[in-house]
Amino acid sequence: MPQERVSSVSRTLGEFIAAASWADVAEQGHHAKRSILNFFATALGSAHDPAVTTALRTLSPFSGSQTSTIIGRSERLDALCASFINAISANLLDFDDTHPETIIHPAAPVAAPVLALGQARRLPGRDVLTALILGVEVECRIGNAVSPRHYARGWHITSTCGIFGAAAACAKLLGLPVDGIASAVGIAASQSAGNVENLPTAAKNVSVGNAARNGLFAALLAEQGYEAAPRAIEGPLGWACTMGDEPDLERLLGGLGNTWEIARNTYKPYPAGIVFHAVVDACFRLRDRIGKRTDHIDSVTVRGSALLLARGDRPVHNERDARVSIHHCAACGLLIGAAGIAEFAHKTVFRPDVAQLRQKVTAELDDTMPDGAARVSVRLVTGEVFTETVTSPRGSLVDPLTDRDIEAKLRACVRTGGSDWDADGVIEAVWQIDELDDISELMQRSPNLKGRS
């Protein structure tokens, strides 16, 4: 029996996605290329991380046809498994793109499956780019509709909303009609999961990987005729209400096709939670002011919103803790004057002087500070106090990374990630993605892959 054609979120999104062409989204093309470039940077930086290697070893025996590349490595898996691996890799270092209104990391759950599917079916780059833009629009609009309560309840919004973007993007890439896209979105609603409690562990990345893989799976099921309830998102027993609240449909559907969420995307200069970037920048400024007197620091006080404290007022036991730690971000900014991948790696996390300075950092709530801002005060043993406040850190919409900054980030991630991939080749291919006849040209930037069909 055909799906009931009633007015619903899934159907409205399906109509929008099915009707959209490259001409409708072309103005967002540069934003999308920046997102893909950053996606490759973060995935390449994690390519040989033990978590990626373990996931690859776990899935490889169950993979079907090896159609899709594992970014930064020589292995291939089927599109579903490759989507999972590449999504966790892109999300692993907390270095991925961020949509400020929702704190969704848009690219990992959407770019991973559209690239894997595009390579498996040898689709043109322009189709992949169009699907990515539409998928990011869907995941962020659904995120807008349930923010901030959804995340505050403990749902990991990149995972729970990312699956909708993945399903929508892959359904578009498969050329599904309106009913098929609506079904893919509805099927995704039955698979949405991920919790904030797991953020300091690799279990967080599993839910991001599942968002990518299961979003593609939802689209493939819809392609074969699977259906879903028309109001799987907004119904009284649908996704939004069972996870907390009725969605704000105006934020979800208002201005659809006229405003674009990918244009609001931001890119991180530091591999740490986005809410800690203001802490890092404030500490850089304080380091400049106190000069070489870092060994004279008596105490450090970081003031910020409830979100900052909830995410980052934690002890540091490992590298993952460090990437979501107010104390470690402050210590790196003040003591080292840097906050790159090396500063959140095991060697630095367990440096005695860094650990000692972390113990001097105290976090305090300041309800006047917006999310993403921080006020840091340093007291020296002499009694002098220095304070810096940052409301728009580097990488924010006010102070964004340039194209060249993201290119430099990718080159650095190739080096630190131990990949043999050709960084300049990836960069060139991403900027020309809409001109590629076959997206596989982008996915073969390793000396071990070039020339393979």
- Reported as a pLDDT band with limits 50, 70 and 90, residue 292 is confident
Q: In this model, does residue 450 exceed pLDDT 50? A: no
Beta pairing, strands 385-390 & 68-69: unpaired
pLDDT score recorded for residue 445: 63
Structure tokens at 344: 């959140």
pLDDT score recorded for residue 446: 52
Task: Quickly count: other Cβ atoms within 10 Å of residue 381's Cβ.
Answer: 11
DSSP state of 106: -
DSSP state of 364: E
pLDDT, one tens digit per residue, over 2-48 is 444 448 999 999 999 999 999 999 999 999 999 999 999 999 999 99
pLDDT, one tens digit per residue, over 55-65 is 999 999 999 99
**Low-confidence winner among 328-332, 399-403, 443-447 (lowest mean pLDDT):** 443-447
Share of the chain above pLDDT 70, in %: 97
Strand partners, 379: 299, 385
Beta pairing, strands 297-304 & 374-380: antiparallel
pLDDT, one tens digit per residue, over 418-448 is 999 999 999 999 999 999 999 999 997 654 4
Beta pairing, strands 361-365 & 297-304: parallel
pLDDT, one tens digit per residue, over 143-155 is 999 999 999 899 9
Q: Which residues of 61-84 are buried (b: 16+ CB within 10 A; e: fewer)?
A: eebeeebbbbbbbeebbbbbbbbb
pLDDT, one tens digit per residue, over 252-263 is 999 999 999 999
Q: In this model, does residue 245 exceed pLDDT 90? A: no
- Reported as a pLDDT band with limits 50, 70 and 90, residue 297 is very high
- Please check whether residue 330 is in contact with residue 376, taking contact to mean a CB–CB distance below 8 angstroms: yes
pLDDT, one tens digit per residue, over 363-386 is 999 999 999 999 999 999 999 999
pLDDT score recorded for residue 2: 42
pLDDT score recorded for residue 452: 41
DSSP state of 432: T
Mean pLDDT rounded to a whole number for the chain:
94
Determine the average pLDDT of the residues in 352-359. Answer: 97
Helix (H) or strand (E) holding 13, with range, is: helix 9-19
Task: Quickly count: other Cβ atoms within 10 Å of residue 212's Cβ.
Answer: 34
Q: In this model, does residue 214 exceed pLDDT 80? A: yes
pTM: 0.94
Determine the average pLDDT of the residues in 314-335. Answer: 95
Task: Quickly count: other Cβ atoms within 10 Å of residue 38's Cβ.
Answer: 30
- E-only strand ranges, 219-360: 297-304
Q: Output the CA–CA distances (angstroms, integers) from residue 206 to 1, 16, 54, 59, 199, in the order listed.
A: 36, 30, 12, 12, 10
pLDDT score recorded for residue 200: 83
